[in-house]
Chains A and B, each alone.
Chain A
Amino acid sequence: MSQTPELVVKNLHVSVEGKEILKGLSLEIAKGEIHAIMGPNGSGKSTFANTLMGHPKYEVTSGEILFRGESILEMETDARARAGLFMAFQYPVAIPGLTFASFLRAAINARIAPAAGEDGKMPTKKGIAPKEFRKQMLEQMALLKMDEKFATRYLNDGFSGGEKKRAEILQMAMLKPTIAIMDETDSGLDIDALRIVSEGVNALAGPEMGVLVITHYNRILNYIKPDKVHVMVDGRIVTSGGPEMALELEAKGYDWVREEVAQ
């Protein structure tokens, strides 16, 4: 039985400050699938991730992004997130003064009660009960081997590289997206952290969530097994294959793909 893909990207062209970065990218991801996009630096991987989330810096000049059958190009970032898209950031921003727990609770409440008023404000004092929130958060934190103190620390402020990535996965676990994009989640992680983060992703990936892993190295793919691997060069997916392609890339590097494309 073939499933309608949750995320459909058709011939996507994206420019940053007038310079074209994505040059006709197409991709389909269904719920329950794990896809990996691999590619050398500068190939446009992070541009793709940020474009999916609607970062204002990235201008879609042509092509289409359909999420659950509908175009999201006109949707603001927050609406995309509430619709079920999630991106684990390569460089999560630090916001001193905002505790991790109050941030996460606000994010959950934004999903539960997306009926913001005309002025765009969220109804306050509603949403998940503080006790229930705390229970869920502590459960997930335990799975990710995070100290309880995390909850009261300021968001990403003074977090180590590994702590930041775990915090991203914790958010993903709590927000339960339909499609999760992991933007270079493996960068800056030691093996232990990589394993914990990957286990977190594996635990969440399943019939209800599709995953797009964006990475430069295949290291993370030793832990997260993709159904499909796509190779991205110069703003396009140039070849796709099964998990074995990651090994091939590791053995041969990206040059053979470049050569193949050139031919």
Chain B
Amino acid sequence: MNTTPVTSPVSNALAGWLATAETRANQKNEPAWALAKRSHAAAVASSLAFPTRDEELWRRTDFGGLPLDSLDPFAAVTPARNIDDLPVLLLTRLAGEGANTALVAQTDSEVVYEQTHPTLVKQGVIVCSMDRAIREHADKIQSLLGSLIATDYDRWTAVGEALRQGGAFVWVPKGVHAEIPVRLMQFLSGAGRLAAPRTVIAVGDGGSVTVVDELLSENAEGASMYLGGTELFIGQGAKLTFASLQDWSRNVYHYGNGRAQLAKDAELQWIQVMVGGRMSKTNIWFNLDGEGANAFVHGFMFGDSRQHFHLHTLQRHLKPNCTSDLLIKGCLKDKARSVYQGLIQVAEGAQKTNAYQANRNLLLSDQARADSIPGLEILANDVRCTHGATLGHVDSEHLFYLMARGLPRVEAERLVVEAFFEPVLERIPLESLREQLREEIERKIG
């Protein structure tokens, strides 16, 4: 009797990936502690099922359309011998400033180019690939890597950690104000790619740095995937400005975890831009874990055609006297969709907390959709917490005012949409980047 074994191609693909990732790490002589983390993540990944729509955080976002077995996390990558070998898309973003920056650039699964800057070297700032950090800076990275993103957060997260390939490490010594902004770039070169970078940024007490992380890809017929994790550690009185700019081509499925840990009097400025990709799911958590810590989050999503964005944020107030202020804007045209799920948690004893959360959505078509799901969990009694969400079309009085000055309706709408994004855009650290994103928005408005 002929029987066909019932196995899912996805499970087969996944089991193969996990085994290959471990073999390759062994071949690369990855240190035992890093290998152990990887093996543990692989075991967790095997024990979990992929999240389904039964789970609250996945109710509105379904990766079911992603053909996992078409992806190859180990596709060969050609390294760049020098900066000019980088993909044109990345060079364009660098806008000729490549030589004056510190840069870690990754294509698909590997860091292909890394450079620091003499000024940063002099200051003792480390900017390098995660592989190099694991080899050369184990004393610094070992306790940090994977300490904020729980391996068992969900299966995707565990898979990402088990496959970990590439990513960057930025480390700022105590009291040092890094004078040069750091650029991190992830590029996906075509269809069937899967990148699983892990990045750690650590700012020592009283230090400061600006880091821009850009996600770009070559458009292709088939799907690709990004499965990344970023962990940010901000020491006492330290300041980190972190801009995450997701500008994938339309074939990319994105699953990203961002976590930040703030010590006493630390300040985080986080700018989150999401304009690209087919389907994009991002979870950002902030632990305000020292008195007087402040986190400011500004972000926007701009979707067209059938793009789908899902952003989940968690403002965790663990200690008293902290402030978190979050503003997420969403603008959707055509049949695009966004989901914003935001939660403010105030722990017992975290008195004098100031926590604000706002989600503003602008719909440019009747078929676009924005869901906003705010939440509060407050276990302290002396706090000031607000959250609010708005949803609307372009204000007809705004249009009338602009048209009364001679601007045609389409032009007036364009100005209103650009104005909607501008307060977030102007927080992006580099003028050349702001300008490129403005142009990108202008193209998307059409």
Chain A residues closer than 8 Å to B414, beta-carbon distance: 121
Is A76 a contact of B409 with CB atoms below 8 Å?
yes
- Chain B CB within 8 A of A92 CB: yes
Instruction: Choose the segment among A4-12, A93-101, A192-200 that binds chain B (4+ C-beta atoms closer than 8 Å).
Output: A93-101
Chain A residues closer than 8 Å to B415, beta-carbon distance: 95, 98, 103, 106
Is B405 a contact of A175 with CB atoms below 8 Å?
yes
Tell me the complex Cα distance, A111–B410, Å: 15
A contacts with B: majority SS: mixed
- Chain A CB within 8 A of B408 CB: yes
- For B, the interface residue count at a CB cutoff of 8 angstroms equals 26
Chain A residues closer than 8 Å to B97, beta-carbon distance: none
Tell me the complex Cα distance, A119–B413, Å: 13
- Chain B CB within 8 A of A187 CB: no
Within 8 A of B (CB), among A83-125: 86-87, 89, 92-93, 95-98, 103, 106-107, 110-111, 114, 116, 119-122
Within 8 A of B (CB), among A18-54: 53
- Chain B CB within 8 A of A171 CB: yes
Q: Given A92-B401, A93-B397, are A110 and B419 neighbors across the interface (CB < 8 Å)?
A: no
Is A76 a contact of B410 with CB atoms below 8 Å?
no
Instruction: Choose the segment among B127-135, B223-231, B382-390, B420-428 that binds chain A (4+ C-beta atoms closer than 8 Å).
Output: B420-428
- Chain A CB within 8 A of B179 CB: no
Is A56 a contact of B400 with CB atoms below 8 Å?
yes
Q: Which residue of A lies closest to B424 (CB)?
A: A97
Is A106 a contact of B401 with CB atoms below 8 Å?
no
Chain B residues closer than 8 Å to A107, beta-carbon distance: 402, 405-407
- For A, the interface residue count at a CB cutoff of 8 angstroms equals 32
Is A97 a contact of B421 with CB atoms below 8 Å?
yes
Chain B residues closer than 8 Å to A121, beta-carbon distance: 408, 410-411, 414
Is A120 a contact of B411 with CB atoms below 8 Å?
yes
Q: Given A93-B397, A120-B410, A122-B411, are A53 and B404 neighbors across the interface (CB < 8 Å)?
A: yes
Is B406 a contact of A110 with CB atoms below 8 Å?
yes
Chain A residues closer than 8 Å to B422, beta-carbon distance: 96-98
Closest chain-B Cβ to A94's Cβ sits at a distance in Å of: 9
Closest chain-B Cβ to A181's Cβ sits at a distance in Å of: 10
Closest chain-B Cβ to A210's Cβ sits at a distance in Å of: 17
Is B406 a contact of A93 with CB atoms below 8 Å?
no
Chain A residues closer than 8 Å to B419, beta-carbon distance: 95-98, 154-155
Q: Given A95-B398, A95-B416, are A110 and B408 neighbors across the interface (CB < 8 Å)?
A: yes
Q: Given A78-B403, A89-B401, A103-B415, are A97 and B423 neighbors across the interface (CB < 8 Å)?
A: yes
- Chain A CB within 8 A of B3 CB: no
Closest chain-B Cβ to A74's Cβ sits at a distance in Å of: 15
17 A/B residue pairs, CB under 8 Å, sorted by A: A55-B400, A56-B396, A76-B403, A78-B408, A81-B403, A81-B404, A81-B405, A87-B404, A95-B398, A95-B401, A97-B418, A97-B422, A103-B405, A106-B407, A106-B415, A116-B408, A116-B410
Additional A-B contacts beyond A76-B403, A97-B423, A107-B406 (7; CB < 8 A) = A53-B404, A77-B404, A78-B404, A78-B412, A93-B397, A114-B406, A122-B411
